[in-house]
Chains A and B, each alone.
Chain A
Amino acid sequence: MINVRIPTPLRTLTRDQEVVSATGTTVSEIIDDLQSNYPGIKERICTGNGELHRFLNVYLNDEDIRFRDGTATALNAGDELSIIPAIAGG
């Protein structure tokens, strides 16, 4: 099982849950599993061709998955994924 942290704008789809669990061996599989439990969530996270939205950051534990293999990044039981919108600042 993988815990997935859900950002505020998507919690209407997860019945207000901040953290949900999902099964899968890659980030892509987790997104598909989320979609089966929380219909509509995949199209909010991904563009039509299955890529993550440009303004969304996904972290595996503490690391941006763009430093790993993107949505193909492999996961192990006990990992945590965080979905976080891009943040401005300086």
Chain B
Amino acid sequence: MVEQRRFFSGLKCRECGRPYPGKALYVCEYCFGPLEVEYDYALIGDSLSREKIEARRKSMWRYRELLPVAGDISVGADVGFTPLVRAKRLAAEWGVREVWLKNDSVNFPTLSFKDRVVSVAVNRARELGFKVISCASTGNLANSVAAQSASAGMQSFVFIPHDLEDGKILCSSIYGTKVVGIRGTYDQVNRLCAEIAGRYGWGFVNINLRPYYAEGSKSMGFEIAEQLGWRIPDHVVVPMAGGSLITKVDKAFDEFAKLGLVPHKTAKIHGAQAQNCAPIVNAFRAGSDVVRPIAEPNTIVKSLAIGNPADAHYALQTISGSGGSGVAASDAETIAGIELLARTEGVFAETAGGVVVAAAIKLLASGQVKPDESLVLCITGNGLKTKEALHGRHELKTTIKPSLAEFESLIETESPTKEWK
């Protein structure tokens, strides 16, 4: 599709505005500000309409004018357009009118929102001529890099903290990628990868491909707005690790409003972190724009255990600018959140999803979300990948012989009121 090339022109420094070509560049040479993709919104506005989007295939690529890939989509064409579930039983439990789950725990192919960013990054990496794809990851990103590189027939290397959950390691290695465990924190993995990226000519999705990769997260916001019937909700709760997703959900709503696809109405965007690794929430609470990194994150929420979030500054701007809030959840609250979501809605989220549910409970308790408002929870990953967090809580407790008599005696013991009969 030659037409697409015209919709984005190149990159621009988010801090000082200097222009850069649309290559594998990620920081401004002058002020080290992050580079962002520049779009021609006038042209996109002429081309894109609700009808045109609705007629397209149900994937994130139905918004392709707003995603930075120039040619045809050669990998990840089915990523995205995950269910937006009306959570009636959870809403009833909380006494709220309208709760929705944006359920990326069933995203394709690797069951997390990272499939969105990697799909953009791998397509763009191919266009830029890379042969090897790589990343630093807390797990989900590595899974998606491994799977989508495999389906693209490209070689990949993924770098992770060595002590990740078994599911996160298996879900990378199964795809034939080279998994390198680093004996250190995620931030140390990241630092090493910055040095590797400077020496090897690889496409690191979260480093030299970052401007393209990060844009993929917008599709979560686009889908929320479209699936709500082309409207922006009153509140969205987004988990924060590096802090990029929250800024891109906000950007997605802004772009849809700018293009006239939704009525101009702002959502309050709330960021959620794990209590023992909450540098962005800490800064929000202190009313400061200086983010103090966390040297040794200690939480069961490993996917959010980033002590030095690159986009913290912009995440804070998004929260404050939208009238949202920063909320932290303890490990116990996170587990309770995972179990509540499963019990009420049949959705098994990973630990980051438990953090989001716990954060929503706090926002309701403090009155920041009112019972008559609409609330969307971003569920970004799947519980099967973080089973360790629930260790010992859901083991098989009841076994019997294959005998009706044993079953009858069991049901008498467990449920003497005969409610089962």
Chain A contacts to B: CB under 8 angstroms: 5, 7-10, 12, 18, 44, 53-57, 59, 62, 64, 66-67, 82, 84-90
Contact = CB atoms under 8 A, between A and B. Distances in A.
Given A9-B32, A64-B295, A90 B241 contact: yes
A54 B206 CA distance: 19
B193 interface: yes
A59 B195 CA distance: 13
Contact of B32 (A53, A82, A90): A53
A85 B210 CA distance: 12
Contacts of A53: 31-33
Given A57-B308, A64-B293, A67-B295, A84 B191 contact: yes
B214 A88 contact: yes
A90 to B, nearest CB: 4
A90 B312 CA distance: 13
B34 A55 contact: yes
B194 A7 contact: yes
12 contacts: A18-B199, A44-B31, A64-B187, A64-B295, A67-B293, A84-B191, A84-B194, A87-B136, A87-B193, A88-B206, A89-B190, A90-B303
Question: Would you list the 6 A-B pairs with minimal beta carbon distance, nearest first?
Answer: A89-B206, A86-B310, A90-B241, A9-B29, A55-B32, A85-B27
Interface string B193-216: 111001100000011001001100
A87 B34 contact: no
Contacts of B191: 57, 59, 82, 84, 87
Interface in B306-321: 306, 308, 310-311, 313
A89 B32 contact: no
A10 B32 CA distance: 10
B113 to A, nearest CB: 9
A53 to B, nearest CB: 5
B137 interface: yes
B266 to A, nearest CB: 25
B103 interface: no
Contacts of B292: 66
A29 B195 CA distance: 24
A85 B295 contact: no
B311 A87 contact: no
Contacts of A64: 187, 293, 295, 308
A84 B190 CA distance: 10
A9 to B, nearest CB: 4
Contact of B33 (A10, A55, A59, A87): A55
A85 B31 CA distance: 10
A54 B313 contact: yes
Interface in B120-139: 135-138
Contacts of B308: 57, 64, 86
A88 B310 contact: yes
B8 interface: no
Nearest to B304: A90
A88 B306 CA distance: 10
Given A67-B293, A88-B310, 17 more contacts: A9-B29, A9-B32, A54-B32, A55-B15, A55-B31, A55-B310, A55-B313, A82-B191, A85-B32, A87-B310, A88-B244, A89-B136, A89-B137, A89-B138, A89-B306, A90-B242, A90-B306
A89 B242 contact: yes
Contacts of B26: 85
A66 B291 CA distance: 10
Nearest to B211: A88
A44 B307 CA distance: 25
A19 to B, nearest CB: 11
B293 A90 contact: no
A83 to B, nearest CB: 9
A8 B190 CA distance: 16
Interface in B355-410: none
A54 to B, nearest CB: 6
Nearest to B190: A87
B198 to A, nearest CB: 5
A8 B304 CA distance: 28
B309 to A, nearest CB: 8
A18 B141 CA distance: 29
A9 B33 CA distance: 12
Nearest to A56: B32
A8 B15 CA distance: 19
A62 B188 contact: yes
Contacts of B311: 88
